[in-house]
Amino acid sequence: MKVSGGIIAVFFLIGAFLTSCSTTHEQKSVEPAEFPAFDTESHRGGRGVMPENTIPAMLYSLSLDGITTLEMDVKATADGKLVLSHDDYLNPWFTRKPNGEDLREEEKENYPIMQMTYDELQQFDVGLKAHHLFPNQHKMEAYIPLLEDVIDSVQRFIEIEGREQVFYNIETKSSEEGDHKYNPVPEEFVKLLMEVIEKKGITPYVIVQSADVRTLRVLKEKYPHVRSSYLVGARRKDFTVEEDLEVLGFQPDIYSPNFKYITLDDVQKCQEMGMKVVVWTPNTKTEIEELKAMGVDGIITDYPELLVD
Beta bridge partners of 254: 229, 276
Class of domain 5-12+35-89+146-308: alpha beta
14 pLDDT band, cuts 50/70/90, is low
Cα–Cα distance, 172 to 189 (Å, whole number): 8
**Contact status, residue 100 vs residue 71, Cβ threshold 8 Å:** no
pLDDT above 70 (res 8): no
Q: What is the mean pLDDT of residues 28-48?
A: 95
pLDDT at 235 over 90: no
d(CA 253, CA 202): 18
Going 80 to 85 to 90 to 96, the CA torsion angle's sign is negative
DSSP secondary structure code for residue 110 in this structure:
G
Kindly list the domain boundaries of the chain, sorted by start residue: 5-12+35-89+146-308
234 — pLDDT class (breaks 50, 70, 90): confident
| pLDDT at residue 150 tops 80 | yes
Residue 139 has pLDDT above 90, yes or no: yes
Alpha-carbon distance 90 to 113, whole Å? Answer: 7
- pTM metric for this prediction: 0.94
pLDDT surpasses 50 at 165: yes
What pLDDT is recorded for position 6? 45
> Does the pLDDT at position 11 exceed 70?
no
Mean per-residue pLDDT, 141-168? 98
pLDDT at 309: 78
Residue type, 250: F
Distance between CA atoms of residues 257 and 236, nearest Å: 8
Mean pLDDT of 250-278: 97
